[in-house]
Amino acid sequence: MFDKFKKEPGSSPNSSDRAARHSRGWNDVRTHLQKSESLRVLDFGLTSPANINYLTSLGHSVYMANIVQDANRPEWLKPAETEGGTQDFDVDRFIASNLDFSGRDFDVILLWDTANYLPSPMVPALFERLREVLRPEGRLLAFFHGRLEGPETAFSRYQLSDSDDLLVLDGGNFPVRQVYQTRQVERFLEGFSNVRFFLGKDNVREVIAVR
């Protein structure tokens, strides 16, 4: 789930599914990447040769983490304590298995809208873990959908460009599991020194958090 420059067979979305999305958050991060040298970037989502090529052309190293597909597997559910009871998501085991970065830390984390597609008990732990591996003054970019359904909520891969627009590619058939309000997002990001919100026309809130 965590690779440097490793392409997963069949992981590239179809180029015919591309659409452009204007992103103020990406503009902020892109400017930071262009002004900086030798950063370490963690990019969430299906392995993207285009993203790897773009970031390495700026002189940065790139690591990929794709956790949505794995988090939707039943193996992470704990047995119900009572017959017919609710199964809990095994957050600790998932974090240990999928967010172990072998001692690496990062200057930029491109989380995108990953949080919306994860089981809700996993989300606070995800942000806590990312804060731990983000270097001081490092930046985290996250998107949050404002609706459970609609064309804009389709699980996507965000492809970087040298403009304020991201290319949005089909990433698979995963539904939005939970919508998070601004106050909930602020709680996820407690411990960061600076948090800025941007509201997109597609009802997606973008967040830049600086450690």
Span 128-137, mean pLDDT? 96
Residue 48 lies in a domain: yes
Residue 94 lies in a domain: yes
pLDDT of residue 81: 62
Span 39-61, mean pLDDT? 96
Give the integer Cα–Cα distance in Å for 156 and 51. Answer: 14
Those residues whose C-beta lies under 8 Å from the C-beta of residue 188, and which sit 6 or more positions away, are 115, 123, 124, 127, 180
Q: For residue 12, name the pLDDT band (cuts at 50, 70, 90).
A: very low
Those residues whose C-beta lies under 8 Å from the C-beta of residue 132, and which sit 6 or more positions away, are none
Residue 120 domain boundaries: 14-76+87-210
Q: For residue 19, name the pLDDT band (cuts at 50, 70, 90).
A: confident
Does the pLDDT value for residue 101 go beyond 50? yes
CATH number (domain holding residue 62): 3.40.50.150
Q: What is the pLDDT of residues 159-180, one digit of tens each?
A: 999 999 999 999 989 999 999 9
Residue 82 lies in a domain: no
Residue 160 lies in a domain: yes
Residue 2 lies in a domain: no
Residue 1 lies in a domain: no
Residue 206 lies in a domain: yes
Span 188-207, mean pLDDT? 91
Does the pLDDT value for residue 129 go beyond 50? yes
**pTM here?**
0.89
Does the pLDDT value for residue 83 go beyond 80? no
Residue 3 lies in a domain: no
Number of domains in the chain: 1
Does the pLDDT value for residue 18 go beyond 80? no
Span 22-32, mean pLDDT? 96
